[in-house]
Structure 1
Amino acid sequence: MSPTGARPPERKELGRFENRLSFIYVEQCVIHRDANALTFTDDSGVAHLPAASVAALIIGPGARITHAAMGLLGVCGVSVVWVGEQGVRYYAHGRPLSGSSRMAETQAKLVSNSRSRVQVARAMYLRRFDEPDIDELSIRELRGREGTRMRRLYRAHSERTGVPWSGRQYDPDDFDASDPINMALTAASVALYGIAHAGIVALGCIPSLGFVHRGTDRAFVFDIADLYKAEISIPTAFDVVASGSTDIAGDTRRAVRDAIVKSKLMRRIPRDIAELLSVEGDEESDVLRLWDTTGSVSAGLNYGTNES
């Protein structure tokens, strides 16, 4: 049975990724649909949110979502991320906002060729450094330089905030077993991964086809999120712990959301992905065509002969 009320929004009516709210985190509530808005119901009442105004909905423990709400999220291209105390579990996302296969085809082509894959991986590493002498370094050398940079970064923020640092140590099966700074880093990473994943699928890219990372269904998510960790998730985590927070997970999520707004990350992610994949111009329209050795031909036609 189709839901009653307002008709679902058409793709051309949906807000662009860069114009949406970054993410909404909810827990201990029931998520339903009212026309083209999501409703969140708990003991304090009911809150409404236009579904097409948010990039990612992050659902925490104790929340339930209805079939009608999931249908609306899918139509609106909203990423849906389930998280819990035992780490991130990414279960679903909406249809790409792009409506085109161009980005996915370009990504698959680049990652399938060793030379072009190395070029994109190098570009990802080079974006993290301000050093002029690294253009000729190999991928292995860049990976080592990145490891050194991250160790220095953690130490620098520890000294800046006074938060003790003994290394990145956490148990994915026991969130509460970590020390405060590792809990904050995990919570910050959850939010950043959610936004990176939302941006990737909104553009029609493939989350599993990474250039630096491989072997997981979120390899490209880690690639993209790593571009912004030094700027957003790591300093935010140290700041939250230094503030004496008694709600590290919640305060970290809110602080990351503020950092995303301040850094204009929602606009940067689509632009950065397009630059890394060397894709220029507007998206192609979502016109179905048939593959051909010369490119493509029109679909919806019978290419058979007139034989009886």
Structure 2
Amino acid sequence: MNALPGARPPDPKALVRVRDRLTFLYVERCVVHRDSNAITVTDSRGVAHVPAAALSVLMMGPGVRITHSAVSLLAESGSTAVWVGENGVRYYAHGSPPSRSSRLLEAQARAVSDPAMRLSVARRMYLMRFRGENVAALSMQQLRGREGARVRRLYRENARRTGVEWDRREYDPDDFESGSVVNKCLSAANSALYGVIHAVVVALGCSPGLGFVHTGNYRSFVYDIADLYKADLSIPVAFDVASEDFEAGVGEETRRRMRDAIRQERILERSVRDIKDLLSAAIEGDVEEDDLDVDDVRLWEDEATSVPAGISYSTRDER
């Protein structure tokens, strides 16, 4: 049998783990190509090289042309390509890296499908935000009410800290420029955070659509996890940018500061750890990150067990 055409993808264990990668790179009005194991970004200012294996997510805005070889390199390196609108706010599509294990996905589906387990995971998510508080007896409605009050308090506190005038969170997803400066900054900051968390979710083999607090959207689980970090990241960054005198380019400046903040706060490492911890009750056995790189195709057996694939299970009489 002839070998499969094309370059052989690298060994997954040789790649940089997702928690140790660069946060994200946003590009627009350029050409994305490949030079050996690096992604090249070319525009009127010249050519920039980015090691693909060290990149978590590449966010591509308007005016970007990307070559087949560049997409191939991103896939081989386990990096996620995301196509977004101008200012990085509107999300269009993404190309997910090949998830080599379904253990976390199965645990996620198991937990979402069980009402008691789903509520337990949701409570643990809120507990990460309400540090030191007892939420064990709270219903989803009570948790949502407490979360809403907490977010409104965070907006007011950051407004006082920075001197930014604040009324309420209001924006038009179809018209980014129509919002106030601080609302535009919040939209850009949250969009950057969603892109990074989306990359982590698919890199771990989880489903972006199976949420525990959010539901009905293909990024529900992304919103669940991103909400864990908004108080420390997107909200203060957005108010900081809004407090400064930027006549234009607030979206670009917000993304730049979010990139640095995500790196400084080690959000990639934290989100990997938090997702595993949240799903731990539904995982059968301990899961190390190296386990998620194993391409272990199995077959269902009776009573929710499995057996190895690639083996003939026919008896001698059936052959």
**Please, what TM-score do these two structures have when normalized by structure 1?**
0.94
Aligned partner letter, 1:213: H
Aligned partner of 2:306 among 292, 296, 299: 296
Aligned equivalent of 2:279: 277
Shift of 1:66: 1.3
Q: Is the 8 A contact 1:240 1:252 kept in 2?
A: yes
Shift of 1:132: 2.8
Q: Distance in 1 between matches of 2:55 and 2:163?
A: 35
Aligned equivalent of 1:14: 15
Aligned partner letter, 1:270: V
Aligned partner letter, 1:93: G
Matched position secondary structure for 1:127: helix
Aligned partner letter, 1:253: R
Q: Which moved more, 1:278-287 or 1:57-66?
A: 278-287
Matched, 1:257 2:276: no
Q: Which moved more, 1:8-17 or 1:190-199?
A: 8-17
**Please, what TM-score do these two structures have when normalized by structure 2?**
0.91
Q: Per the alignment, do residues 253 and 176 of structure 1 end up closer, same or farther by CA in structure 2, a change over 3 Å counting?
A: same
Matched position secondary structure for 2:296: coil
Q: Distance in 1 between matches of 2:55 and 2:96?
A: 12
Matched, 1:307 2:313: no
Q: Which moved more, 1:145-154 or 1:126-135?
A: 126-135
Aligned equivalent of 2:230: 229
Counting matched residue pairs gives 305
Aligned partner letter, 1:267: E
Shift of 1:171: 0.6
Q: Is the 8 A contact 2:24 2:58 kept in 1?
A: yes
Q: Per the alignment, do residues 119 and 133 of structure 1 end up closer, same or farther by CA in structure 2, a change over 3 Å counting?
A: closer
Q: Distance in 2 between matches of 1:75 and 1:288?
A: 19
Q: Distance in 2 between matches of 1:39 and 1:133?
A: 50
Matched, 1:287 2:293: no
Shift of 1:14: 1.2
- CA-based RMSD of the aligned residues comes to 1.8
Q: Distance in 1 between matches of 2:133 and 2:96?
A: 41
Q: Which runs of 5+ in 2 are unaligned?
A: none
Shift of 1:83: 1.6
Shift of 1:238: 0.2
Matches within 5 A, 1:103-252: 103-246=104-247, 247-252=249-254
Shift of 1:248: 0.5
Matched position secondary structure for 2:33: strand
Shift of 1:292: 0.8
Shift of 1:205: 0.5
